[in-house]
């Protein structure tokens, strides 16, 4: 049997990454190459000038770390190949500017990017735009390619498309139980409290933004991993590294992912897309440039907005409710605007009160669970095996992890924005509408 072709890719975060056989063939396909033109942090580069890295780099890094985790816990070749492929393909259907248009894509297509990935891998939805038929028409699907190498497309899709843990939460450890349902570990390598996806994006985003909070002890985390009762756990020696990961994620969300100016810019782009009337049925196949060109071609307000964004003419904060200023009354008022269409309704009410066009009012709300001060358990529920072989939640060992469950990662509860000339009027109207 001839040796499979291989390639070593130099990565800014992980150094040399080896890609061979089916992974090399999939990496070089057009579906993956599209990700070179999707910015990982969307419009984050408007605030962090170095944040021009892409979903392609992140997907390659996730593939690499998934392979290292698979080796650390002793997966066989079949399972290891499935999780490595899932790591490479988990973001294959992200829309332009990553998470910015995700809600609009789900509304238009009826599927999130993970379920779309399943359909695309199995050849159930188009994998390229009609204009590219001369380049990609008649090709086998990604699923058919991986099956030819003995990798189950169904298994890979199951790992990608089910982000919720297949097992029960660790809270039942307080009742003395320690049994896990079968084979959750493959899924946890991509979607777990300590997974390849978040380890790569925290390290990569910190590197490219210049923010130091994303520094984590990746080596220690991987080297202390093991499987116990069919689930990935960390040995007690990994507690400090797990705490570091929890702190890094929490601070990166506050500093980068929920940055106020970035969120305002994202809302501007979203409103421009909504106003353009563009058909988003195949937005999961677009590149960033496709979206920008489409908005410019639409003319009117969408064109003006995208040209403003490209020249960093971002709307200003007209009114902010910071988390430190929250009261039960304010939280109760804002809860009325959470859920589908809530932010748009608030924008209309503020615009009517201010006497301005609703297109010139942006509203970004924190999550409903944040307003209700619900404990964020999922990603802090790391399983630790103690010296006696008993599995407990990290929060049993770490007061840091317990406090992070209650920490507000946003820093704000509501952002209201508008163009500079309408800032004062919109700010006053927002306060009147909310009774502040």
Whether residues 70 and 192 share a domain: the answer is: yes
**Domain presence at residue 13:** yes
**Domain presence at residue 309:** no
Q: How far apart are alpha carbons 38 and 35 in whole angstroms?
A: 5
Query: pLDDT tens-digit profile of 114-145?
Result: 999 999 999 999 999 999 999 999 999 999 99
Query: pLDDT tens-digit profile of 393-405?
Result: 998 888 988 888 8
Query: Which of 6-15, 309-318, 329-338, 375-384 shows the lowest per-residue confidence on average (mean pLDDT)?
Result: 375-384
pTM of the model: 0.92
Predicted confidence (pLDDT) at residue 376 exceeds the cutoff of 70: no
Whether residues 200 and 321 share a domain: the answer is: no
416, containing H or E segment: strand 412-418
**Domain presence at residue 127:** yes
> Is residue 325 a contact partner of residue 414, using CB atoms and an 8 Å limit?
no
Q: Is 147 left (phi over 0), alpha (psi -120 to 50) or beta?
A: alpha
Q: How far apart are alpha carbons 367 and 101 in whole angstroms?
A: 17
**Domain presence at residue 348:** yes
Q: How far apart are alpha carbons 308 and 312 in whole angstroms?
A: 6
**pLDDT average, residue stretch 207-213:** 91
Q: How far apart are alpha carbons 145 and 359 in whole angstroms?
A: 46
Q: Indicate the residue among 153, 177, 204 that finishes a domain.
A: 204
Whether residues 192 and 50 share a domain: the answer is: yes
Whether residues 320 and 195 share a domain: the answer is: no
| Residue among 188, 196, 190, 197 at smallest CA distance from 170 | 188
Query: Which of 289-303, 347-361, 384-398 shows the lowest per-residue confidence on average (mean pLDDT)?
Result: 384-398
Q: What's residue 83's pLDDT?
A: 97
Whether residues 197 and 333 share a domain: the answer is: no
Q: What's residue 373's pLDDT?
A: 65
Q: How far apart are alpha carbons 203 and 213 in whole angstroms?
A: 9
Q: What's residue 172's pLDDT?
A: 39
Residue pointed to by tokens 């689930």: 231
Q: Which two tokens stand for residue 385?
A: 């095996």
**Domain presence at residue 126:** yes
Confidence of residue 182 (pLDDT cuts 50, 70, 90): low
Task: Determine phi and psi for 412, rounding to 5 degrees.
Answer: -140, 160
**pLDDT average, residue stretch 59-69:** 98
Whether residues 198 and 344 share a domain: the answer is: no
Q: What's residue 406's pLDDT?
A: 80
Predicted confidence (pLDDT) at residue 391 exceeds the cutoff of 70: yes
Whether residues 339 and 200 share a domain: the answer is: no
Residue 380, C-beta contacts closer than 8 angstroms, at least 6 positions apart: 193, 246, 394, 395, 401, 404, 405
**Domain presence at residue 272:** no
Q: How far apart are alpha carbons 226 and 330 in whole angstroms?
A: 45
Predicted confidence (pLDDT) at residue 392 exceeds the cutoff of 50: yes
**Domain presence at residue 357:** yes
| 3-state secondary structure (DSSP) of residue 198 | helix
Confidence of residue 380 (pLDDT cuts 50, 70, 90): low
Parent domain of 38? 7-164+185-204
Whether residues 13 and 135 share a domain: the answer is: yes
Q: Indicate the residue among 173, 204, 235 that finishes a domain.
A: 204
The chain-wide mean pLDDT, for the chain, equals: 91
Q: Indicate the residue among 204, 234, 261 that finishes a domain.
A: 204
Instruction: Please report the sign of the dihedral spanned by the C-alpha atoms of residue 336, residue 341, residue 344, residue 349.
Output: negative
**Domain presence at residue 243:** no
Q: How far apart are alpha carbons 430 and 205 in whole angstroms?
A: 34
> Is residue 38 a contact partner of residue 94, using CB atoms and an 8 Å limit?
yes
Count of domains observed in the chain: 2
Q: How far apart are alpha carbons 312 and 264 in whole angstroms?
A: 12
Q: What's residue 323's pLDDT?
A: 87
User: For position 125, which CATH number holds?
Assistant: 1.10.3210.10
Residue 181, C-beta contacts closer than 8 angstroms, at least 6 positions apart: 166, 167, 168, 230
């Amino acid at each position: 049997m001839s040796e499979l072709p291989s390639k070593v890719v130099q990565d800014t975060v992980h150094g040399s990454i080896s890609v061979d056989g089916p992974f090399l063939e999939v990496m070089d396909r057009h579906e993956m190459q599209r990700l070179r033109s999707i910015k990982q942090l969307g419009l984050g580069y408007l605030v962090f000038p170095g944040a021009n890295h892409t979903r392609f780099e992140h997907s390659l890094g996730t593939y690499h770390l998934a392979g290292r985790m698979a080796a650390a816990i002793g997966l066989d070749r079949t399972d290891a190949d499935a999780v490595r492929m899932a790591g490479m393909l988990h973001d294959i259907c992200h829309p332009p500017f990553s998470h910015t248009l995700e809600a609009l894509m789900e509304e238009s297509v009826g599927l999130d990017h993970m379920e779309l990935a399943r359909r695309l891998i199995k050849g159930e939805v188009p994998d390229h735009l009609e204009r590219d038929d001369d380049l990609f028409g008649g090709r086998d699907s990604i699923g058919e390619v991986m099956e030819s190498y003995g990798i189950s497309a169904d298994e890979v899709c199951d790992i990608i498309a089910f982000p919720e843990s297949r097992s029960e939460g660790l809270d039942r450890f307080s009742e003395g139980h320690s049994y896990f349902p079968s084979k959750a570990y493959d899924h946890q390598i991509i979607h777990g409290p300590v997974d390849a996806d978040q380890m790569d994006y925290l390290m990569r985003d910190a590197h490219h933004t210049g923010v130091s909070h994303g520094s984590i002890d990746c080596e220690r985390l991987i080297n202390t991993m093991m499987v116990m009762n069919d689930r990935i756990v960390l040995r007690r020696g990994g507690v400090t590294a797990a705490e570091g990961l929890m702190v890094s994620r929490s601070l990166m969300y506050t500093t980068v992912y929920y940055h106020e100016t970035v969120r305002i810019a994202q809302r501007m782009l979203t409103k421009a897309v909504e106003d353009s009337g563009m058909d988003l049925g195949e937005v999961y196949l677009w590149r960033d440039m496709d979206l920008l060109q489409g908005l410019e071609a639409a003319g009117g307000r969408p064109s003006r907005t995208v040209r403003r964004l490209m020249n960093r003419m971002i709307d200003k904060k007209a009114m902010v409710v910071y988390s430190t200023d929250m009261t039960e009354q304010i939280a109760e008022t804002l809860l009325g605007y959470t859920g589908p269409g809530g932010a748009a309704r608030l924008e209309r009410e503020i615009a009517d009160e201010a006497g301005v066009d609703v297109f010139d009012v942006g509203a970004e709300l924190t999550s409903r669970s944040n307003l209700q001060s619900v404990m964020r358990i999922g990603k802090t529920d790391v399983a630790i095996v103690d010296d006696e072989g008993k599995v407990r939640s990290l929060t049993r060992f770490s007061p840091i992890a317990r406090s992070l469950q209650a920490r507000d990662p946003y820093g704000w509860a509501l952002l209201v924005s508008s163009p500079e000339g309408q800032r004062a009027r919109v700010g006053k109207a927002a306060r009147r509408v909310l009774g502040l």
